[in-house]
Structure 1
Amino acid sequence: MSPTSSAIDRREFLKGLAASGLVIAISTSGCRRLEDALRGAPRSTGEPFTPAAYVRLDDSGGVTVICHRSEMGQGIRTSIAMLVADELEADWSRVKVEQAPGDEETYGSQNTDGSRSIRDFYRPVREAGALARMMLETAAAARWKVPVGEVEARQHEVVHGPTGRKLAYGALVSAARSLAVPARETIRLKEPSQFRYIGKEIPIVDLFDMTTGRAQYGMDLRREGMLVAVIARPPVYGGTLASVDSAAAERVPGVERVVRMKEAPPPSAFTPLGGVAVLARNTWAAIQGRQRLTLKWNDGPHADYDSEKYRAELERTARRPGKVARRQGDAARALRRAAKRVQADYYIPHLGHAQMEPLAALAIFQNGKCDIWAPTQHPQAARDAVAQALEIPVENIRVDVTLLGGGFGRKSKPDFIVEAALLAKETGRPVKVVWTREDDVRHDYFHTVAAQHLEGGLDASGRVTGWLHRTVLPTIQATFAPDMLYQGDAELGQGVTDLPFDIPNLQAECGPAPARTRIGWYRSVINIPHAFAIGSFADELA
């Protein structure tokens, strides 16, 4: 049960990978043969090379794509493989996908947030496939002693046009490995009319496993001797445990231990909330044990938090002048002189991520090293947070990424992973932390609540001449730093300061809003409240 995988040296791993066939390392700045990257061979551009994903062709002709981003239903494992296979002219049945473990030095940023994976890697991944295809074609031409222009890769073979001779990819891998890598500007990408897979309906690579119960999500994890932990967390953000009586919980069949966990005062960032963990031989026993805990809490600085009162506070603030975030022309004057003046107020409550799979993570701690399996969107953030919590080097932590049953940004926050690591160290046993659906909703990093006030002025012809937008919401930054009352530039840049309307007189303001819960990002982040208010108000003006 020793987590020996944590001790694998990164460079030795990459050298082993490079020795297994023709391996292309992919970066947003281009592609390189892995051997060249390991030797530190200079690039023509002089730029540092930071690989992210890898494509490997072995001597049998098999194609393996090592995917550096997390799969949570968006199909990234399939999409990356499709891009490679299309440009490589690979037989789709010969392509498989491996999931990269968390290792930013080897795989670059693995943060699967912001809808950036295809946007950032669409061309580089295609270039990797095309580069490998060109190297195979060059190897075949050399073998036949014919001009490379006479050969063409087609469905896992290279064909000599004039004679019809064919060579399978596997027969060419060894020779292709020794060839010079084509310069980026010479790489020939397919025209859209030539696409075999891109833009076509292709079943996702995990479909069979998903539909037959073989797929491994975080909630499916099992290890010999594993304990399941269910945690009673403070009911109010920033609360602490006053007392606990665990006698009844410890009498539940299957319960083996009750552990008090250290609380984290706000702003807690990715640190777990703390509380009392019930560890048992199965999930049901752990849940039943938690229900039998007798707990008393000190609710802390947010004891008086009431969502209706807080809403009223935000709405009052939105109707008062705030900090100016954007000024164009003279909005106040335009509104005073408008032939028609319209105003409206908009409110959005907190939103929970409520992804299909509640949070779960499994950890093993042994000999100063920690192995983790988790459905995480951001494995490097998990490694960093666990290293801080366990006070061990980040190199001693390995994070293997399972399939995610949805994410929407919640699973990029590693608090649940840190919980598993802390309990694994405390007990000396493999521990899987399980969040129930109730836990998932109650202790979320909520999408921010927001109140907004808008005013618009129209001239006699109905043209908008003045626009005032006041936005008040607790900032995501409040989860990470104290005294953060105003939205940051990035948040205001999601609809407010970048408003695309052609209005001569415009003013945008933001007001203060203290955070009373953990605030986190969610799909489209602050575009949600801003777009709702702006789009709705545009309809009102029309």
Structure 2
Amino acid sequence: MIHDAKLMAELAAETPAAEVPAVLANVSRRAILGGLGAFVLALSLPEHARAEEAKKEAPKFGADGMPHGWRDDPKVFVAIAQDGTVTVTNHRSDMGQGVRTSVAFVVADELEADWDKVKVVQAWGDEERFGNQDTDGSRSLRHFFQHFRHAGAAARLMLREAAAKQWGVPVAEVTAQNHVLTHAKSKRQLGYGEVAAAAAELPVPARESVKLKPASDFRYIGKGKIGLIDNRDITTGKAIYGLDTRLDGMLYALVARPPVYGGKVASFDDTEAKKVPGVVKIFKIDGGQIPSEFMPLGGVAVVAKNTWAAMKGRDALKITWDDGPNAQYDTDAFRQELEKAVRAPGKVVRNQGDVDGAMAKAKKRVTAEYFVPHLVQAPMEPPAAVAWVKDGACEAWACTQGPQAAHDRLVKALKLPADKVKVNVTLLGGGFGRKSKPDYVVEAALCSQAVGGVPVKLTWTREDDIHHGYYHTISVERLEAGLDEKGMPVAWLHRSAAPTIGSIFAPDPKHELPFELGMGLVNTPFNLPNIRLENPEAAAHVRIGWFRSVSNIPHAFAIQSFVAELAHEAGRDPKDYLLDLIGPARTIDPTSIGDVWNHGEDPKLYPIDTGRLRRVIETTANGIGWGRKLAKGRGLGIAGHYSFVTYTSVAAEVEVSDKGQVSVKKVHIAIDCGPQVNPERVRSQMEGAVVMGMGLALTSEITFKDGRAQQNNFDGYEIIRIDASPEVVVHLLPNPDYNAPLGGVGEPGVPPVAPAIANAVFAATGRRVRQLPIRDQLSA
């Protein structure tokens, strides 16, 4: 997921602040100093260099999110106290993917630190200091792994230099291992804490003088033998999430928002709401602008002494809404519009060979259309934030994936100087892209501002989350293939129609943007002589936003399902047919096939490697026992996909009852993400991706009528329950070369799940699934 508003708009056309609660580990550098008692080694960009960097003109950052000029300096803070405690500052948000642990792994390994003496604190939002902090696109470790390594290795070298100076020996004779510095010849030893003060006085060594450890010496990286660094706090309820934040004297708020995107408050009567005990203030929030970007939708805010009073006060409001331009939005009718759009020529986004000529000469033509509905992220923890606006400054605490985005929108909404706004990042109880949009943080700040210098916690209920989200786009995909006498495609036409995320940033462009097209559409890696990909217009009628895996979901569902349909037409095994379509192992320059985005990566470092894609498909097929005889009503399905510069495949075994109910019995998922920093977290992410993908395949959808979401809570927007979870086997394809580029992990596991299940349903029943979710399609 990406959510840089400035980039999207282009594609479409230490601060004075309130005291941080002691329970939060989102602290300023000054607070870190005080909390450690003795802050004796900190690796960061030198102040003079930081000042010079701030003067530079755009572009400030490279493709990896690092500020220009910082690449030879440690990026992540490393602090060592006199007792030897190592504190690593993590600059990306942790929403369950375990990035806090993985960052600490990397630094601690290169530092040669004792894991029992390592702590992690969370960075506040500060792009100048920490670089790009957007937790999206499965790129936290992909972009910063080598920088983390250098931070740890540089600290290790400085400790060795300090010990060598104290002993009067060459630094080459001093070793660092497991928190101990040793001079073998004299048998002298020092702990890290004993020399950290002296090491802090040394200059940060030049990058070329820092020697990284060989992978054979890794103790933590790639081992996967240590759990989450904050696992005990999480499992015992001590961890602080956005909903857990508390400040003395805090008030609580909820907002009644327009039920239709682009709607506004026409009038409201708060007479009864003011009678609710505990209600403090009721006021109108401006909104209703289209495009909305990350700013609030508007509505009426109720601030009270507790959340219950705020809820009851909101319930008592009498509001007349002006529903605006999307009052007639109906997803059933809009689906028909999309179907009409894909049945006519659209904007050509990739054209190779002569599709029309080859199609005319083909022995057989096969056409299919696939539908994916709106989805909502529905993280376990709904959006929540605390804001304190006081004395011309604002400090916020939020479960946000984008602290810099939150900072910038607070500056805009409150009309405050940038250096008077600070955003602290709590743990996130899930995010999936929803919490990259900080509208809820701005709402909290507006409430605090309205009550005059009192901190306010603003909470979204589950109904708020489902009714007023940034939805995954609705889409219709139409594919047509002309087959030769062997049943292989000689011509391939794919039309994809879906409202674009770009619609929230600028007047609706009605075409998918390059990053959406680059999610499994234009970069389709098949060995085809004639291929044309088109993108018809599709207007947006709700807020469209990032959802885990984004446009890879509809593209993978359609393409991988269509491949299985073609295999059936050809009388071929679906797995063998898919591998033949991919063709021999080779590398493809993504820009040569129309992908100008390539997940934001250098195509020379990250070409599409069809050999790696073949390998994950073969791995899942072998794992599930592809080709084995199954009982009646059972079937196997397979799918593969390339996304976020990572290769994944899913093979699923399903059972369909006599009443048409689908249950997934077993899933094998394989991932080739390059070198694995924390295999335990990679495995967990794949397991979670399977369950989430099952929800998209079987139960989850958001529908609209009269512009309003028809689902209210988890009784309507169904996610997979634990009793439906299948046996999941994860295959981590190894790559021992830790100098090779890393791929992504958080998102790539989702896209192949739904098509694998749909293909398995056909194998079990002979009935095709061309729309999601499956729900009761087979029992109708």
TM-score by length of 2: 0.65
User: Residue 457 of structure 1: which of 462, 482, 486 is its match?
Assistant: 482
Instruction: Confirm or deny: 8 A CA contact 1:262 1:275 kept in the other structure.
Output: yes
Map of 2:423 onto structure 1: 399
Write the distance in 1 (CA, Å) between the matches of 2:217 and 2:47: 31
Instruction: Confirm or deny: 8 A CA contact 1:64 1:97 kept in the other structure.
Output: yes
- Kindly report which structure 2 residues correspond to 1:359-378, keeping only aligned pairs within 5 A, or say none: 359-378=383-402
Structure 2 CA distance for partners of 1:173 and 1:395, relative to 1, 3 Å: same
Q: How far off is 1:420 after superposition? A: 0.7
Instruction: Confirm or deny: 8 A CA contact 1:264 1:271 kept in the other structure.
Output: no
Map of 1:114 onto structure 2: 137
Map of 1:49 onto structure 2: 70
Question: What secondary structure sits across from 1:197 in the alignment?
Answer: coil
1:3 and 2:17 correspond: yes
1:294 and 2:294 correspond: no
Q: How far off is 1:53 after superposition? A: 2.1
Quick one: which amino acid aligns to residue 192 of structure 1? A
Q: How far off is 1:138 after superposition? A: 2.7
Write the distance in 2 (CA, Å) between the matches of 1:303 and 1:35: 54
Question: What secondary structure sits across from 1:196 in the alignment?
Answer: coil
User: Residue 281 of structure 2: which of 257, 264, 268 is its match?
Assistant: 257
Structure 2 CA distance for partners of 1:38 and 1:480, relative to 1, 3 Å: closer
Question: What secondary structure sits across from 2:550 in the alignment?
Answer: coil
User: Residue 89 of structure 1: which of 102, 112, 118 is its match?
Assistant: 112
User: Residue 171 of structure 2: which of 142, 145, 148 is its match?
Assistant: 148
- Kindly report which structure 2 residues correspond to 1:501-520, keeping only aligned pairs within 5 A, or say none: 501-520=526-545
Deviations 1:245-272 (A, max 9, x none): 2222222222222211112321111110
Write the distance in 2 (CA, Å) between the matches of 1:47 and 1:519: 32
Write the distance in 2 (CA, Å) between the matches of 1:329 and 1:502: 12
Write the distance in 1 (CA, Å) between the matches of 2:247 and 2:202: 45
Map of 2:162 onto structure 1: 139
Quick one: which amino acid aligns to residue 40 of structure 2? G
Q: How far off is 1:450 after superposition? A: 0.6
Map of 1:29 onto structure 2: none
Deviations 1:81-116 (A, max 9, x none): 111111111111211111111111111111111111
Q: How far off is 1:11 after superposition? A: 10
Question: What secondary structure sits across from 1:351 in the alignment?
Answer: coil
User: Residue 411 of structure 2: which of 387, 393, 397 is its match?
Assistant: 387
Instruction: Confirm or deny: 8 A CA contact 2:17 2:420 kept in the other structure.
Output: no
1:173 and 2:196 correspond: yes
Quick one: which amino acid aligns to residue 554 of structure 2? P
1:71 and 2:94 correspond: yes
Q: How far off is 1:4 after superposition? A: 4.5
Instruction: Confirm or deny: 8 A CA contact 1:52 1:109 kept in the other structure.
Output: no
Q: How far off is 1:333 after superposition? A: 1.2
Paired positions, count: 526
Deviations 1:48-77 (A, max 9, x none): 227742112233322111111111111111
Write the distance in 2 (CA, Å) between the matches of 1:91 and 1:441: 45
Instruction: Confirm or deny: 8 A CA contact 1:66 1:97 kept in the other structure.
Output: yes
Map of 2:40 onto structure 1: 21
Map of 2:469 onto structure 1: 444
Deviations 1:103-145 (A, max 9, x none): 1111111111111111111111011111211222233233333
Instruction: Confirm or deny: 8 A CA contact 2:75 2:148 kept in the other structure.
Output: no
User: Residue 267 of structure 2: which of 243, 246, 267 is its match?
Assistant: 243
Map of 1:482 onto structure 2: 507
Map of 2:83 onto structure 1: 60
Write the distance in 2 (CA, Å) between the matches of 1:188 and 1:213: 40
Write the distance in 2 (CA, Å) between the matches of 1:308 and 1:66: 48
TM-score by length of 1: 0.92
Map of 1:215 onto structure 2: 239
Q: How far off is 1:327 after superposition? A: 0.4
Q: CA-atom RMSD, angstroms? A: 2.4
Map of 2:551 onto structure 1: 526
Write the distance in 1 (CA, Å) between the matches of 2:248 and 2:484: 74
Structure 2 CA distance for partners of 1:278 and 1:539, relative to 1, 3 Å: same
Question: What secondary structure sits across from 1:23 in the alignment?
Answer: coil
User: Residue 426 of structure 1: which of 450, 458, 463 is its match?
Assistant: 450
Quick one: which amino acid aligns to residue 500 of structure 1? P
Quick one: which amino acid aligns to residue 303 of structure 2? L
Q: How far off is 1:178 after superposition? A: 3.8
Map of 2:636 onto structure 1: none
Instruction: Confirm or deny: 8 A CA contact 1:15 1:38 kept in the other structure.
Output: no
Question: What secondary structure sits across from 2:156 in the alignment?
Answer: helix
Q: How far off is 1:539 after superposition? A: 1.6
Structure 2 CA distance for partners of 1:48 and 1:212, relative to 1, 3 Å: same
- Kindly report which structure 2 residues correspond to 1:230-379, keeping only aligned pairs within 5 A, or say none: 230-379=254-403
Quick one: which amino acid aligns to residue 506 of structure 1? I
Instruction: Confirm or deny: 8 A CA contact 1:52 1:68 kept in the other structure.
Output: no
Instruction: Confirm or deny: 8 A CA contact 1:5 1:398 kept in the other structure.
Output: no
- Structure 1 gaps of 5+ residues are 26-31
Quick one: which amino acid aligns to residue 97 of structure 1? V
Write the distance in 2 (CA, Å) between the matches of 1:235 and 1:143: 69
Question: What secondary structure sits across from 2:266 in the alignment?
Answer: strand
Q: How far off is 1:318 after superposition? A: 0.9
Q: How far off is 1:192 after superposition? A: 2.5
Deviations 1:183-231 (A, max 9, x none): 3233222222322112222221222221222211111122222221111
> Identity of counterpart residues, as a percentage?
52
Structure 2 CA distance for partners of 1:181 and 1:278, relative to 1, 3 Å: closer
Map of 2:126 onto structure 1: 103
Write the distance in 1 (CA, Å) between the matches of 2:207 and 2:155: 12
Write the distance in 2 (CA, Å) between the matches of 1:59 and 1:184: 26
Q: How far off is 1:454 after superposition? A: 0.3
Deviations 1:162-194 (A, max 9, x none): 343211112222332344544323322222232
Instruction: Confirm or deny: 8 A CA contact 2:392 2:416 kept in the other structure.
Output: yes
Write the distance in 2 (CA, Å) between the matches of 1:509 and 1:155: 57
Write the distance in 1 (CA, Å) between the matches of 2:428 and 2:410: 20
Question: What secondary structure sits across from 1:65 in the alignment?
Answer: strand
Question: What secondary structure sits across from 2:476 in the alignment?
Answer: strand
Instruction: Confirm or deny: 8 A CA contact 2:174 2:182 kept in the other structure.
Output: yes
Instruction: Confirm or deny: 8 A CA contact 2:93 2:425 kept in the other structure.
Output: yes
Question: What secondary structure sits across from 1:53 in the alignment?
Answer: coil
Structure 2 CA distance for partners of 1:522 and 1:52, relative to 1, 3 Å: farther
Greater shift after overlay, 326-335 or 161-170? 161-170
Quick one: which amino acid aligns to residue 195 of structure 2? L
- Structure 2 gaps of 5+ residues are 1-15, 21-27, 54-66, 568-780
Q: How far off is 1:536 after superposition? A: 1.2
Map of 2:768 onto structure 1: none
Structure 2 CA distance for partners of 1:186 and 1:340, relative to 1, 3 Å: farther
Quick one: which amino acid aligns to residue 87 of structure 1? E
Quick one: which amino acid aligns to residue 235 of structure 1? P
User: Residue 225 of structure 1: which of 241, 249, 257 is its match?
Assistant: 249
Quick one: which amino acid aligns to residue 122 of structure 1? F
Structure 2 CA distance for partners of 1:3 and 1:124, relative to 1, 3 Å: closer
Q: How far off is 1:244 after superposition? A: 1.5
Write the distance in 2 (CA, Å) between the matches of 1:526 and 1:219: 30
Write the distance in 1 (CA, Å) between the matches of 2:177 and 2:372: 54
Question: What secondary structure sits across from 1:305 in the alignment?
Answer: coil
Write the distance in 2 (CA, Å) between the matches of 1:11 and 1:254: 38
Write the distance in 2 (CA, Å) between the matches of 1:524 and 1:94: 36
Structure 2 CA distance for partners of 1:145 and 1:52, relative to 1, 3 Å: closer
Greater shift after overlay, 219-228 or 160-169? 160-169
Map of 2:212 onto structure 1: 189
Deviations 1:269-303 (A, max 9, x none): 11101111121111111111211222221111011
Write the distance in 1 (CA, Å) between the matches of 2:506 and 2:171: 60
Q: How far off is 1:385 after superposition? A: 0.5
Write the distance in 2 (CA, Å) between the matches of 1:36 and 1:88: 26
Write the distance in 1 (CA, Å) between the matches of 2:473 and 2:365: 29
